[in-house]
């Protein structure tokens, strides 16, 4: 797809900009063991989505405070598990291209601010703009996070490229009116093998 209209880039964090898959899965497996849930059913639901949304899907009978407590426990399991968290392949090249081309960018994540800063720091990434689940009232697949990210970088959503590795994030990007770039074989306006491929496309446009 032609990317000449793209004036800003909005990047998901986990699985897109930061390789944290192993840490995420470890945390959910521990959480499932504590809460009597089946990790094989829970982990696919959790990918790319806020913890509270996943808890509600797994345990729909829980009250609001119970959901909040269960989600807080899940995040707590992730905060200090950073030993194998690194930038994804091509991330450094992409960020260098964005800097050279003067393209504003932001990270829009379903993590809370503490976890986002911890993981981005472990990966050596310091985003100019960070939108976390703490900044919005509705997480992915709601478009609020991407709309906020677009506003903060000063680019209309229709001229933003949303880069995602999870279907809930792609749904959010489409709902925001952005062009989508999909990893992991998912279906976006652009399909990417890794962020290095996106760097090349932006350099060549």
Other CB atoms within 10 Å distance of the CB of residue 77: 18
| Active site (annotated) includes residue 14 | yes
- Which residue in the block uniquely carries the two structure tokens 């030993």? 83
> What domains appear along the chain, each with residue ranges and CATH number?
8-20+85-204 (3.40.50.1000), 21-78 (no CATH)
Quick check: 111 pLDDT over 90?
yes
Other CB atoms within 10 Å distance of the CB of residue 37: 19
Average pLDDT over residues 136-163: 97
Confidence of residue 185 (pLDDT cuts 50, 70, 90): very high
Quick check: 51 pLDDT over 80?
yes
Of 14, 19, 112, 142, which residue is the catalytic one?
14
Cα separation of 123 and 133, whole Å?
20
Check residue 1 and give its pLDDT. Answer: 72
Quick check: 27 pLDDT over 80?
yes
Average pLDDT over residues 104-123: 97
| Active site (annotated) includes residue 38 | no
Of 12, 19, 112, 165, which residue is the catalytic one?
12
Tokens of 55: 């808890």
Cα separation of 69 and 117, whole Å?
21
């Amino acid at each position: 797809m032609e990317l000449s209209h793209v004036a800003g880039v909005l990047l998901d964090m986990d699985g897109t900009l930061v390789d944290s898959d192993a840490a995420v899965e470890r945390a959910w497996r521990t959480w499932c063991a504590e809460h009597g849930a089946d990790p094989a059913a829970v982990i696919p639901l959790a990918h790319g989505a806020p913890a509270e949304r996943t808890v509600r899907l797994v345990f729909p009978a829980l009250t609001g405070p119970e959901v909040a407590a269960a989600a807080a426990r899940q995040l707590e399991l992730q905060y200090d598990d950073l030993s194998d968290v690194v930038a994804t392949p091509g991330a450094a090249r992409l960020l260098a291209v964005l800097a050279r081309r003067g393209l504003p960018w932001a990270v829009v994540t379903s993590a809370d601010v503490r976890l986002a800063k911890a993981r981005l720091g472990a990966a050596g990434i310091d985003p100019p703009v960070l939108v976390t689940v703490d900044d919005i009232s509705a997480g992915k697949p709601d478009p609020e996070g991407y709309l906020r990210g677009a506003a903060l970088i000063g680019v209309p959503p229709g001229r933003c490229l949303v880069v995602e590795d999870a279907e809930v994030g792609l749904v959010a990007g489409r709902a925001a009116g952005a062009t989508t770039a999909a990893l992991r074989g998912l279906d976006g306006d652009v399909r990417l093998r890794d962020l290095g491929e996106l760097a090349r496309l932006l350099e060549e446009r």
